Amino acid sequence: MIESLASTQQAVVGVVLVWASWFKLFYRNAPTAARRSALKKVVGEERVVGAYRTVGVVEAVVGLLLLAPPAIALEAYAAAALSLGMLGYLGFAKWRAPDSSCGCLGDKHTPVRGRGFARAGLLLVLSVLGAQATASWLERPLATAGLLVVELAAIVALSPELDHRWLLPLRRWRVRVSHPLGNRPMEVPLESSVQQLWKSPAYESVVRQLSSDLLDHWDEGEWRLLTYAARTPDGQMTAVFAVPRLDYRPADVRLALVPADEEALV
């Protein structure tokens, strides 16, 4: 049982490595992805594309060796070494270039986070497991295929650069079917009244004397009242604006300036 599991791991790691190398060697935007990756910090701007392709070649060689029979432990150890290197690279990226991309499995710009580490760790574990294999996975194609699908799904789930292929479409579909924020009560937000106020002649006439941001606001029938502090030649005032609450009529905005100390009259 362990033996059959082990040979499957060789296939899984092989597929992931071939996939990663295919992207690095043949993808049209690979040079751009290379320049955005943390590899730039390691080898420098001029050599980054070459280094990126070299990594791709190494991955392709190890991946193809793992996939091709016979199963040799050395191949799996080579993959384990690659995974270890990967972990080291991620650690470096997190430390020295936290905003640059991993550049591992796709060209989506995704900074190195926990999932990237989990993926490299998983590959390392699978590679070590694969070293226990003595027979090629080709001898048990069906069992291998089943496990392969499950484990590849785990790898995909741990790859933030692939989220746009499955996770976002899934969430988009769910929001289209029933928008979670679809049935909120309709009301006129304060922001809308403030925007209308800014367009009004009344506001323009005093804007240079307003000293504060919005002080207070309340509704009075059809009107929404907004107050600001104002510094005028006649002293501290409170500017009171009445904005039509339900319509957009900035020309109808009304204004009164009330001396600040006379508010105590109430």
Partner 1 sequence: MSDILGRRRFLSSAVLGTTATVVAATTIGAVAPDAIADPKLDVEAGAPDPNFVEGRITGIVGGLLMVTGSDRTINQIHLTKATSVWKLRPTTSDAAKVGDGLYARGVRMPDGTLAADAIWLNIVNLQVHITSIGRSAMHLDHHGDRIVGHVVAGTTAAVYNSTPAVSDLSLLQVGKHAQIIGAWRPDTNEVDIATVYAAA
Q: Binding residues for partner 1, per CB under 8 A? A: 99, 110-111, 113, 164, 168, 171-172, 175, 179-182, 184-192, 195-196, 201-202, 204-206, 208-209, 211-218, 220, 223, 225, 227-229, 231-233, 236-238, 240-242, 248, 254-260, 262-263, 265-266
Whichever of 96 and 179 has its CB closer to partner 1, that residue is 179
* Residue among 54 and 195 whose Cβ is closer to partner 1: 195
Q: How far is the CB of 171 from partner 1 (least distance, A)?
A: 4
Query: What minimum distance in Å lies between the beta carbon of 122 and partner 1?
Result: 21
- For tokens 């009259």, the residue is 265
Q: How far is the CB of 78 from partner 1 (least distance, A)?
A: 31
The nearest distance, CB 264 to partner 1, in angstroms, is 9
For partner 1, the closer of residues 26 and 218 by Cβ is 218
Angle of helix 48-67 relative to helix 2-26, nearest 10 degrees, comes to 150
Backbone region of residue 79 per phi and psi (left: phi > 0; alpha: psi in -120 to 50; beta: other values): alpha
Enumerate the β-bridge partners of residue 210.
Answer: 230
- For partner 1, give the closer residue by CB, 113 or 139: 113
Tell me the C-alpha distance between 133 and 205, whole Å.
83
When the beta carbons of 153 and 190 are compared against partner 1, the nearer one is 190
* Alpha carbons 235 and 226: distance in angstroms, whole number: 20
Q: Which is nearer to partner 1, 46 or 263 (CB)?
A: 263
CA atoms 39, 43, 47, 53: torsion sign: negative
Cβ atoms of 219 and 248 closer than 8 Å = no
Q: Phi then psi for 107, rounded to 5 degrees?
A: -95, 0
Nearest distance from C-beta of residue 128 to partner 1, angstroms = 30
What is the nearest approach in angstroms of partner 1 to the Cβ of residue 161? 11
Helix extents (H) in 73-162: 73-96, 114-130, 141-157
